[in-house]
Amino acid sequence: MSVVFSFPGFETIADNIAAKLNFRRGDVTVRHFPDSESYVRLETPVAGQDVIIVCGLEHPDHKIMALMFFSHVAREMGATSVGLVAPYLGYMRQDKRFHDGEAITSDIFAAFLSQIVDWLVTIDPHLHRHERLDEIYSIPNRVIHASGLIAAWIRDNINGPVLIGPDMESEQWVSQVAKDAEAPFIILRKIRHGDRDVEISVPDVKAYKDHTPVLVDDIISTAHTMIETVGHLKAAGMKPPVCIGVHGVFAARAYENLQAAGVENIITSNSITHPSNGINIEDIITDAVAEMK
């Protein structure tokens, strides 16, 4: 028997898994003390049960200790396994030592998380220099893709789209979305000079002047990648763009800044809860969890 728990903010995903797979729904209290240390209490017995915890890992530093405590206490209370559903998997972007002495946090975090849980389900992790999660995660894992849902959204909502990927690594998902949406696509070149300093090169887009540009990226964090791209498309005389991100991290005022850049249509999946959510990933997560069991 399986029991599904949720960290704060992921209740609807956990509810969907429990309802569709006929699992029990468990309760856990997760909070922070005034000094910011974490408090975790399992409210539902788990002895002899397979435990599933839904906890997205955006803002991972704020959650990872509580997740470790959750997993430990679940095992102490007799859980036979602890599986993690992390719709957004944090710490995937620093996958290389660019400067002497830098921690390759993707690898270190993966090794740490592999000690904490028995398996992992996630959506479109930022796989750039690593091709597969297995290269850094030593636990069974299932990577699911939002490309089919994004393509369906584009087909249903946009007339004459041209998909735009902001950088080389985006080609993997943009080309798939374009294929499913039966739309043309263009991949741009990006040079990142700093956290909030990106340079984008836009090829000749004249052929697509009567198309609606649809920017597709896996993560919108500071939104500088999108804002920079939108600026180039405007200058090239393209129609107003639509911006789609699988994961709307939206650091600080990123969302407002993207709107201020003139983008009225910003769409993300509900891997991270946000007013821009327009693509529902609950069912593909549930299907993946069913396959892990």
Q: Does 229 bind ligand R5P (CB under 6 A)?
A: no
Q: How far is the CB of 44 from ligand R5P (least distance, A)?
A: 36
Our finding on whether 224 is near ligand R5P (CB under 6 A) is: yes
Count the residues of the shown chain that bind ligand R5P, applying the rule CB under 6 A: 15
Angle at 31 between CA 25 and CA 32, to 5 degrees: 160
Residue 276 in the binding site for ligand R5P (CB under 6 A):
no
Q: Which of 42, 261 has the CB closer to ligand R5P?
A: 261
Q: Residue 184: phi, psi to the nearest 5?
A: -75, 160
**Token pair 């969890």 is at which residue?**
289
| Nearer to ligand R5P among residue 170 and residue 270 (C-beta) | 170
Q: What residues from 111 to 130 belong to the interface with ligand R5P (CB under 6 A)?
A: 126
Contact with ligand R5P (CB under 6 A) among 216, 219, 279, 288? 219
Instruction: Mark residues 133-172: x for contact with ligand R5P by CB under 6 A, - for none.
Output: ---------------------------------xx-xx--
Residues 6+ apart with CB under 8 A from 83: 50, 51, 52, 53, 117, 118, 119, 120, 121, 289, 292
Round to whole Å and give the CA distance between 22 and 16: 10
Cα separation, 158 vs 154, whole angstroms: 5
Q: Are 261 and 200 in contact (CB under 8 A)?
A: no
Q: Can residue 222 be called a binding residue for ligand R5P (CB under 6 A)?
A: yes
Cβ atoms of 217 and 165 closer than 8 Å: yes
Binding mask 178-217 for ligand R5P (x = CB under 6 A): --------------------x------------------x
Provide, rounded to whole angstroms, the least separation between the CB of residue 170 and ligand R5P.
Answer: 6
Give the tokens for residue 147: 């490309």
Torsion of CA 283, 93, 106, 8, to 10 degrees: -40
Interface residues for ligand R5P in 72-101 (CB under 6 A)?
A: none
**Chain contacts with ligand R5P (rule: CB under 6 A):** 126, 166-167, 169-170, 198, 217-225
